[in-house]
Amino acid sequence: MMILGTAFGMVFYLLQVVSGESGYAQNGDFDDAELDDYPFSCYSQLEVDESQHLLTCTFDDPDVNSTNLEFEICGALLDVKCLTFNKMQEMYFIRTKKFLLIGDSEICVKLKGKKITCRKMNVVKIVKPEAPFDIRVIYREGANDFLVTFNTSHLQKKYVKELLHEVAYRQEKHENDWMHVNLSSTKLALLQRKLQPDAMYEIKVRSIPNHDYFEGFWSEWSPSFHFRTPEITELNLLCGPVSQIIRRLWNNFARNQKR
């Protein structure tokens, strides 16, 4: 009986050890083994609502159980030491006017007031612009090109006004064959001779900060715009060069008349 009791005692002890190593405490709370790390990423959007700024953070692992987890930012704030994030589903965010826009802040994940993991970030170095919108494509027959125009809310902003835009376009039947053009303006001319005739094209645009002080990430893509190139006929091939000659002669005539 002594040997049997000792055996049961060892089994009971081993079960306790295994239970402890699995990360569960007797009171049902997180054990220290579960508090190792919760990697996360953040981005800022400045002046999203007049003078208010938006800071958004999400966990890198979409499957993490975030039920009892909180985010907090401290430092580089106006009038307050720290701010607590709001939560919407799996996203944490702050909408505020209190970012100094100078210096680093500390952003921490917290569980019941205890800091689990922290990162130093500067909100002006993690800027994600708002997506461009209102993209349009107009065919200019006389110029033999397509004028692409789009809009961005950053034209009216005080801070992040300088952007680099990436225009991507493809023939619809070529799903992954995207062509890319980078530009700083909101206008682009696509030459007709570089596009296939009588074909449907898809075009979209995104933006990234293009400034020494404000840095960050690409915006989301704008909604796509679809356009069709005109069919090339023998009359088009004949009249195209002729119309260019007539236009040049007329411009020369007009300039001579002004002299």
* Strand (E) or helix (H) holding 239: helix 234-258
More confident of the two residues 23 and 136: 136
In a domain, 86, yes or no: yes
Which domain, by its residues, includes 176?
133-237
- Please indicate, yes or no, if residue 25 is contained in any of the structural domains: no
Alpha helix ranges (H) inside 22-58: none
Structural domain ending residue among the three candidates 103, 122, 141? 122
The pLDDT-based confidence of 111 (bands split at 50, 70, 90) is very high
Residue 98 falls within a domain, yes or no?
Answer: yes
110 lies in a domain?
Answer: yes
- In this structure, the answer to whether residues 225 and 199 fall within a common structural domain is yes
* Structural domain includes residue 244: no
Is the domain of 113 the same as that of 76?
Answer: yes
pLDDT digits (tens, 9 = 90+) for 142-157: 999 999 999 999 999 9
In which band, very low, low, confident or very high, does the pLDDT at 174 lie, cut at 50, 70 and 90? confident
Question: Tell me, what's the pLDDT at 245?
Answer: 60
Q: What is the mean pLDDT of residues 171-187?
A: 94
Domain co-membership, 141 together with 224: yes
Quick: pLDDT tens for 114-168: 999 999 999 999 999 999 999 999 999 999 999 999 999 999 999 999 999 999 9
Number of domains in the chain: 2
Is 108 domain-assigned? yes
Residue-wise pLDDT for 31-46, tens only, equals 443 545 899 999 999 9
CATH number at residue 63: 2.60.40.1870
Q: Are 38 and 57 in contact (CB under 8 A)?
A: no
Q: Residue 138: give its domain's CATH number.
A: 2.60.40.10
Mark whether 114 and 138 lie in a shared domain. no
Judge whether 203 and 169 are in contact, CB under 8 Å.
Answer: yes
Q: pLDDT at position 48, please?
A: 93
Residue 139 lies in a domain: yes
Q: Which pLDDT does position 50 carry in this prediction? A: 83
Q: Concatenated DSSP letters for 133-184?
A: EEEEEEEETTTTEEEEEEE-GGGG-SS---EEEEEEEEETTSTT--EEEEES
Average pLDDT for 78-94? 96
Give a yes or no: residue 252 inside a domain. Answer: no
Q: Among the three residues 122, 154, 174, which one is the final residue of a domain in this structure? A: 122
155 and 227 together in one domain: yes
Last residue of a domain, one of 72, 89, 122: 122
Residues 106 and 175 in one domain: no
Region class of 207: left (phi > 0), else alpha (psi between -120 and 50), else beta = beta
